Structure 1
Amino acid sequence: MKLTKKELIALVLMITNGYEDYPFKRKGREHAAIRHHHNQKILAIILEQDSRLLLSLKLKPEQVEEYLNDRGIMPAIGLNKKHWLTIAVNETEVTQEELKQMLLESSRLTRK
């Protein structure tokens, strides 16, 4: 799957029914945070770094551990590495359906 940052944001918003926010601005790079409407908790972070489109999600620790074996998935950048991972969206073997399930799980885990 090859996506632009704009397309990825639209996909995440559609799947999670969240809203887009920009609380992190570092050295001219904008990190899009997708948040829940009811509690404002972040459920996903989208950024571009070194020409790579990255998506960080919260999952169960055992899921994080399992997914780290997949190409294009790495320990979370700037987040708790036990509960979060980062996906190089255009470099991973994760299918769009798997990505959807990961997004739904991140949304569920951050809903409280």
Structure 2
Amino acid sequence: MRHSRIPHASFTYEISSDNIVQIIDEDQGKTVTNDIDYVLSEISREENRPLTGCQVIYRDSDGTWDGVELTEAGDFHRFYSIHETDLEKALQKVRGSVNA
């Protein structure tokens, strides 16, 4: 019996000047949601640094922005709801939660 392997998530990302990682799911292979450990490790590898101290948001395949809470070491801890379709509104919510 052959098992077909689903390719890792395909995504793009940007990091803002205030260290907010913005990940966009390109809807190919696994979803960013289902492959978050891989996605975070790839970004960390590409940036040549741990994601410690960063905030992370991602746009899922439905176009909704939500958050990814990291551990102190910069690894995945849990998802949390931002539930915005507009990037600027999502960023405002994340920035507001830091300043609150």
TM-score (norm 2): 0.32
TM-score (norm 1): 0.30
Greater RCO, 1 or 2 (C-alpha within 8 Å, sep 6+): 1
Bigger radius of gyration, 1 or 2?
Answer: 2
